[in-house]
Amino acid sequence: MFRLPAVSAKLRLLLFLLYLATIVAVSLLPLGTDSAKLRLFNNIMHAPVYAVFVLMLSGILKSVAGLNAGRRFFISAFSALAVGAAVELAQFAVANRSSSLSDLALNAAGVAAGLSIMYFRERRK
């Protein structure tokens, strides 16, 4: 199995915060009016982006706070869904961006995928 090299807790936290800032920044950039391909790509990326969010946050919660799997599952899922909902609400104020329940559903699908990966990784231990 492929393993990532050991990374310090501070570096993990920094990388996660950069990832979070990137999610927010990209989600709030105005889209051009004739960018159908970009909109499609944006919609496709919801699930994988939030799956990675869950996995990164879970890793931080394990290495920094030493939380058990159940607490990591809950905190990671809640945090990812809260960020997704906040971004969707913020998009109301951005020109050429729209907020939708389907985006929230795609975010939730990504969270579920991330939690599934977490579950199977924990189960293998």
pLDDT recorded at residue 109:
96
What's the whole-model pTM score? 0.85
Q: How far is the C-alpha of 37 from the C-alpha of 47, rounded, in Å?
A: 17
pLDDT recorded at residue 57:
95
Residue type present at position 36:
A
Q: How far is the C-alpha of 114 from the C-alpha of 80, rounded, in Å?
A: 10
CA quadruple 90, 98, 85, 48: dihedral sign? negative
pLDDT recorded at residue 30:
80
- Which of 22, 46, 43, 17 is closest to 108 using CA atoms? 46
- Residues (pLDDT < 70) of the chain are 1-5, 32-35, 38, 125
DSSP 36-103: HHHHHHHHHHHHHHHHHHHHHHHHHHHHTS---HHHHHHHHHHHHHHHHHHHHHHGGGSTT----HHH
Residue type present at position 50:
Y
pLDDT recorded at residue 1:
47
Q: Are 76 and 17 in contact (CB under 8 A)?
A: no
